[in-house]
Structure 1
Amino acid sequence: MDRFLFSVVGLVITLSLISSQAEARAFFVFGDSLVDSGNNDYLATTARADSPPYGIDYPTHRPTGRFSNGLNIPDIISEQIGSEPTLPYLSPELKDERLLVGANFASAGIGILNDTGIQFINIIRICKQLDYFQQYQQRVSALIGAEQTEQLVNQALVLITLGGNDFVNNYYLVPFSARSRQFSLPDYVVYLISEYQKVLRRLYELGARRVLVTGTGPLGCVPAELAQRSRNGECSAELQRAAALFNPQLVQMLNQLNSEIGSDVFVSANAFEMKMDFINDPQAYGFVTSKVACCGQGPYNGIGLCTPLSNLCPNRDVYVFWDPFHPSERANRLIVQQFMIGSTKYMHPMNLSTIMALDSKA
């Protein structure tokens, strides 16, 4: 616990220094269920978090479409950068002045590839999220003019979280999936990285100049995979291998893009290491377990979805995982703490506090 308290004190001091320097900036979010703030609520899809006990610890105590007991990673980043939380792009409330805060385009179930998550039917694939980003800019231009819009987008912070579903909901979804017959794992990773590079290039073309790119977490250690693949609670070696191949190649690709552009546009966030810290030693961070989900059923509460009929833990703050796949709000807070003040082990080439200090001087 001491280590946690010490980090929080450090975070508070750092934030008080930078919040005075940085004006609130627009924030845009792209990706999957780890960062979806409710877009899927507006779609006919099975990938949704619109029923209790989702949202049990949210200020309204109601489900919001976030795959969390409370706040998710974008909400906490918004808090830290002094912005209002971004609304889902499909929300009818996202209009007029609210547009200037930014928007969340993320959609649960999607991946880098268009065939990832096809079992969820209607989801906003990444190419469509980028189309919406372009449409968003046209809407803002009508409000404040093209020049101001370009400036708002250039100065914004962007978060993109993709990749996990390309393994969990594609390559490893069923034995002998189409992609696993087409590619060996190392070749599949190379293909994913090349497709991801196209996505990031388009994001840059659309004006993004500060992009936090998260690698995949420890895919083999989530309760859903422990329930299906683990005998004694050990992480699935095969899924851990997938993450271990993907993440370093992602960092390499981001470095390459930055050197082509001649600027540190893309910043990698090492979600794997961030989460492994408390998976390996949950007690050191004030958690009771990193294996059992708070909400679910079956072994490790890892089977099926979190529903009103699921087992539900009384204290979400002592669980690393809220449901079979997603971290609890408290785990999300620890992850964002590393985004803010983490060393280069977690954030490369710099953390978010450094970015904000640099950009406030620009």
Structure 2
Amino acid sequence: MESFMTLFISLLEILLALGSWTVPSEAKAFFVFGDSLVDNGNNNFLATTARADSPPYGVDYPTHRPTGRFSNGLNIPDIISEQIGAETTLPYLSPELRGERLLVGANFASAGIGILNDTGIQFFNIIRINKQLEYFQQYQRRLSSLIGPVQSQRLVNGALVLITLGGNDFVNNYYLVPYSARSREFSLPDYVRYLISEYKKILARLYELGARRVLVTGTGPLGCVPAELALRSRTGDCDPELERAGDLFNPQLVQLLADLNRQIGADVYIAVNAVKIHMGFITNPQAYGFVTSKIACCGQGPYNGIGLCTVASNLCPNRDIYAFWDAFHPSEKANRIIVSQFMTGSVEYMNPMNLSTILAMDEKA
């Protein structure tokens, strides 16, 4: 029996080496890049303080254990995977990401990162965006050895890509401390222009690496998260300075995506209006079944917005009635509302088209 198993494993390795795996025609891979809003566990494998691998994170995940997601349960990529009928993508650093699991795609996101390399330096060892793109190249080499270069390119070209960057460049860089290095170097309008110019290079590189359907989220309402309410708001109103940052950044990002699409001659980049999506449940939480959009479920201090979510924190008994899980991140219930707009939102939310339209178009292609 042991010799049979050894022979079987050897044959399997030979098949893999020959690239004889085939991609099911209906398969749509999914690749994720960005920060803690979309990280599903890469930072678990790194020596960094930006991690979510201890309770009560994951309290509502199917296993009821922390996974590295900055959520009580599922995050945005998980729910998008559900919607497109795919398995959840594994973190790129996970040892489980091998063999047939590579066909599903990969999540390269890392909590704490931004558009700029100096964003999140306080978290030390995180996967900056240029490294995420290097890993994407490495992934493609691994995939090519599995299914061959032609099928590998077809899978990547036909994949859905999500990238979420920008929030940390304000919260954990420009506004991290009073008179930060970047705020002394740039006025806010100049800083935003600099971010957009750097983001253009990242998005162009994604296209060079084969991405053809890229959902690009703008920054959410940065001044309305519990952490910023705790630090900056006496009345519970959103902080106007951080809101001004988003108001400058997001329209320029939308314009950048339109310009890139025009240069390419195709709707490669889809602008996701994260502010508009979030503001629905932030300004009228009761309409979405929430009791509050100001107080985080897990935390301490005003609005539960000070410090990290830990076992010593206040923890709400019902996560479904809180828009925010911790000081910065939406609850699973809020993530589901967000993804529903990805799927069916009008051009005010998803420009030039929503995800349902993309999937229908790609199915006919």
TM category (shorter chain) comes to over 0.9
1:181-225 deviation per Cα after TM superposition (whole angstroms, max 9, x unaligned): 000000000000000000000000000000000000000000000
Alignment partner of 1:224 out of 207, 210, 227: 227
- Alignment map for 1:20-99 (pairs within 5 Å): 23-99=26-102
Alignment partner of 2:121 out of 81, 97, 118: 118
CA contact (8 A) 1:24 1:82 kept: no
1:56-114 deviation per Cα after TM superposition (whole angstroms, max 9, x unaligned): 00000000000000000000000000000000000000000000000000000000000
Q: Compare CA radii of gyration and give the structure with the larger one.
A: 2
- Alignment map for 1:79-158 (pairs within 5 Å): 79-158=82-161
CA distance in 1 between partners of 2:27 and 2:334 (Å): 25
The yes-or-no answer on 1:267 pairing with 2:242 is no
CA distance in 1 between partners of 2:115 and 2:283 (Å): 28
Task: Give the secondary structure class of the aligned counterpart of 2:150.
Answer: helix
* Cα offset, 1:33, TM superposition: 0.1
CA distance in 1 between partners of 2:27 and 2:313 (Å): 40
Query: 1:310 is matched with which residue?
Result: 313
1:250-286 deviation per Cα after TM superposition (whole angstroms, max 9, x unaligned): 0000000000000000001101100001000000111
Query: 1:284 is matched with which residue?
Result: 287
1:318-339 deviation per Cα after TM superposition (whole angstroms, max 9, x unaligned): 0000000000000000000000
Sequence identity percentage: 80
The yes-or-no answer on 1:327 pairing with 2:330 is yes
* Cα offset, 1:247, TM superposition: 0.4
Write the letter of the residue equivalent to 1:308. V
Task: Give the secondary structure class of the aligned counterpart of 2:152.
Answer: helix
Write the letter of the residue equivalent to 1:70. G
Task: Give the secondary structure class of the aligned counterpart of 2:287.
Answer: helix
- Alignment map for 1:223-262 (pairs within 5 Å): 223-262=226-265
Q: Which runs of 5+ in 2 are unaligned?
A: 1-24
* Cα offset, 1:24, TM superposition: 3.5
Query: 1:198 is matched with which residue?
Result: 201
Write the letter of the residue equivalent to 1:255. A
CA distance in 1 between partners of 2:245 and 2:135 (Å): 30
Query: 2:189 is matched with which residue?
Result: 186
* Cα offset, 1:42, TM superposition: 0.1
CA contact (8 A) 1:223 1:300 kept: yes
Structure 1 residue runs of 4 or more that deviate by more than 3 Å after TM superposition: none
Write the letter of the residue equivalent to 2:348. K
CA distance in 1 between partners of 2:86 and 2:199 (Å): 28
Query: 1:14 is matched with which residue?
Result: none
CA distance in 2 between partners of 1:250 and 1:339 (Å): 17
CA distance in 1 between partners of 2:228 and 2:94 (Å): 33
The CA RMSD measured in Å over matched residues stands at: 0.6
CA distance in 2 between partners of 1:194 and 1:361 (Å): 35
Q: TM-score, normalising length from structure 1?
A: 0.94
CA distance in 2 between partners of 1:279 and 1:213 (Å): 21
CA distance in 1 between partners of 2:243 and 2:316 (Å): 27
Write the letter of the residue equivalent to 1:106. A
* Cα offset, 1:133, TM superposition: 0.0
CA contact (8 A) 1:213 1:269 kept: yes
Task: Give the secondary structure class of the aligned counterpart of 1:53.
Answer: coil
CA contact (8 A) 1:287 1:318 kept: yes
